[in-house]
Amino acid sequence: MRERVAPAEIRARLWDAPVRIVHWALVLLIGFSWGAAEFDQMLLHRISGYVILGLLVFRILWGFWGSRTALFASFVKGPGRTLAYLKTLPNRSPTDVPGHNPLGAWSVLAILGVLAFQVTTGLFAVDIDAFEAGPLSDRVSFETGRQIAELHEASFTVLQVLVVLHVAAVLFYLVWKRSNLIGPMVTGRRRFAADPGLTFAPWWRVLATAVVAAAFAWFVSKGLRL
């Protein structure tokens, strides 16, 4: 027997492939980078860091000229709108927002910001024996490189807290708001009361952005030297 769907409900495209690929790639690489550092596999740690750098550059650029739901201008709201949204959280009704809600938007920016700080400090960091160092560590003194390395480690703790809060928020929406946020980030589609009329960037723009991001990450990995 076929499942009956309310006539007013429509399953529309929400997230494009670039956003979903970057999201899940960062999930995997953050864990991989942590594991590589814990097991003293610093070559793998550095390579993973360069890939994360490329993904971050891609996501930032995509936030300015990507698909509508990827644009920072479309989901980042001011304090007033964010506070108004916070007041709706006790309501169990699912939020019919096409994309990130105002609170989730600030969570995204926080995670991207801390990740950018993590990668940047890693580029200048030096270990205690000066045996392992980032590709830009020769731009700073040994003492400064060691201080940056400590910031690199400390910021990972901040990142861990943000990730835990992010997972908790996803579970809150799943259990309390009865809204599955994971499914759309896998399939790219979600049910809406009406067609949200979202627009998506062409593939040539995806490829062009990927080339720029990859070239930038490669250039940085070479110590900004050709």
pLDDT value at position 8?
52
Span 139-182, pLDDT tens digits: 999 999 999 999 999 999 999 999 999 999 999 999 999 899 99
Span 92-143, pLDDT tens digits: 887 778 889 999 999 999 999 999 999 999 999 999 887 889 999 999 999 9
- Give a yes or no: residue 79 inside a domain: yes
Express the helix, strand and coil content of the chain in percent, nearest 5 each: 65, 5, 30
- Give a yes or no: residue 38 inside a domain: yes
Instruction: Give the separation between CA 208 and CA 204, rounded to whole angstroms.
Output: 6
Question: Which tops the pLDDT comparison, 196 or 5?
Answer: 196
Structural domain total, the chain? 1
pLDDT at position 66 over 80: yes
- Give a yes or no: residue 4 inside a domain: no
- Give a yes or no: residue 31 inside a domain: yes
- Give a yes or no: residue 44 inside a domain: yes
pLDDT value at position 156?
96
Nearest to 12 by CA among 219, 191, 218, 203: 191
Asked if 64 contacts 58 with a C-beta cutoff of 8 angstroms, the reply is no
**Domain housing 47:** 13-188+204-221
Span 31-50, pLDDT tens digits: 999 999 999 999 999 999 99
- Give a yes or no: residue 61 inside a domain: yes
Nearest to 118 by CA among 62, 146, 159, 162: 159
pLDDT band at 54 (very low <50, low <70, confident <90, very high): very high
- Give a yes or no: residue 109 inside a domain: yes
Question: Which tops the pLDDT comparison, 61 or 129?
Answer: 61
- Give a yes or no: residue 215 inside a domain: yes
Going from the C-alpha of 95 to that of each of 40, 65, 219, the distances in angstroms are 44, 26, 42
Span 175-226, pLDDT tens digits: 999 899 999 999 999 988 888 889 999 999 999 999 999 999 999 999 999 8
- Give the CATH number of the domain where residue 71 resides: 1.20.950
CA 118 to chain centre: 13
Asked if 148 contacts 121 with a C-beta cutoff of 8 angstroms, the reply is yes
18-25 own/partner pairs: CB under 8 Å, 24+ apart: 18/58, 18/62, 18/66, 18/67, 18/70, 18/206, 18/209, 19/59, 19/62, 19/66, 19/67, 19/69, 19/70, 20/185, 20/186, 20/188, 22/55, 22/58, 22/59, 22/62, 23/185, 24/185, 25/51, 25/55
